[in-house]
Amino acid sequence: MAQCLSCGSTSPEIPAVLGLCLRCIREGTGTAADVAADVHARARRYYGLREAIPEDDEGVRCGVCRNRCLIGEGMAGYCGLRENRGGRIVELGGTPERGFLDWYYDPMPTNCVADWVCAGGSSAGYPTYSRSRGPEYGCVNLAVFYRACTFDCLFCQNWHFREGVGGGRSTSAHELAGKASPQTSCVCFFGGDPTPQMLHSLAVAEEALEAAGDRPLRICWETNGSMSRVLMAKAAEVALRSGGTIKIDLKTWDPNLSRALCGVGNEQTLENFAFVASKMGERPDPPLLVASTLLVPGYVDEQEISSIARFIASCNQDIPYALLAFHPAFVMDDLPTTSRRQAQAAEAAARAAGLSRVRIGNIHLLT
């Protein structure tokens, strides 16, 4: 039973490392913001990453994502892939020549947050974007896991990427595009997050699509949505053209909760989400945009889901919304898994907010 370091309340849904309850985070009570910032700093320091978004004196501004790091001479940015050398930004990775990533073939239909509505896992998009009237059995997804991120989620389900940021194996866009075999029906960029390496993913996408010719090949991104508007617009255009899906993880609604759990604000994510949603009418089937939220016990409650769902509905009521069960991970490894009661209450809240295409994912994790 952990105790909140701000108000002194106790709960089994307060992770020992963070030590803050939801009420204190939302209300900005006492030292809640400082406590959360210190937890993020310590977690990032362990992996050699900048402890906070840099605002270095006389630094050079990076414009790849919402963080807009002001990077000092000889220093790195928040994602770890950009440095200031001699007064200019040098990209260590994420360019067409060099991406830090892992890739593998995932048999279709794959375990994707959009598989219940996309052209690869459902009847959507046939025959223009899909090879079959239903799930594409016999095909594969080229899954590309990028080893960097613009967020610092304390509940990260794929936290291991931090061990390889800026080092280890690198792959050029040309080499990776060549892995899209004739059996490959979709390419999905995720991670970590593709945001710090968007230029690499876009180069892979264009080359793979050119090689595919008339064969259906969907290009998808699963992301926190924090990239610049220019990069998001390019991804949306490629996804639209190929029959792919932009899957944006709306981790929180409350900005204080976003900073406490994810280390950064969520304003760019919400703006990019609304931007992509405005393009859904250009290709209603399969859906261009899918939203998802991880149901973190003690933090992502019915109030949070209701607010997120109302925002989604205000953009477009037909946007599919996946609610994902949480598994203890990273520095929140002492939290319980998502309960069936929490998941069902979240689903009801999302539907009450005006959404009809709502699904609970990872149901095997529910307790």
In the chain, the domains with their CATH numbers are 99-288 (3.20.20.70)
- 156 marked as binding residue: yes
In contact, 25 and 257? CB cutoff 8 Å: yes
**Burial of 46 from C-beta contacts in 10 A (0-12 / 13-18 / 19+):** exposed
Q: What pLDDT score was predicted for residue 165? A: 80
**Centroid of chain to Cα 238:** 18
Q: What pLDDT score was predicted for residue 3? A: 87
> Which portions of the chain are predicted below pLDDT 50?
none
C-alpha closest to that of 158 among 256, 74, 249: 249
Q: Angle, nearest 10°, between helix axes 302-315 and 267-277?
A: 40
In contact, 287 and 279? CB cutoff 8 Å: no
In contact, 20 and 37? CB cutoff 8 Å: no
Torsion sign (Cα): 94, 98, 101, 102: positive
The per-residue pLDDT for range 18-37, each reduced to its tens digit, is 999 999 999 998 789 999 99
Q: What pLDDT score was predicted for residue 164? A: 81
In contact, 324 and 293? CB cutoff 8 Å: yes
The per-residue pLDDT for range 146-193, each reduced to its tens digit, is 999 999 999 999 999 998 886 657 999 999 999 999 999 999 999 999
**Centroid of chain to Cα 262:** 11
The torsion defined by the Cα of 251, 253, 255 and 256, in degrees rounded to 10, comes to -80
CA–CA dist 39, 53 (Å, integer): 14
In contact, 43 and 154? CB cutoff 8 Å: yes
Helix then strand then coil, % of the chain, to nearest 5: 30, 20, 45
- 188 marked as binding residue: no
Q: What are phi and psi of 289, to 5 degrees?
A: -125, 135
- 149 marked as binding residue: yes
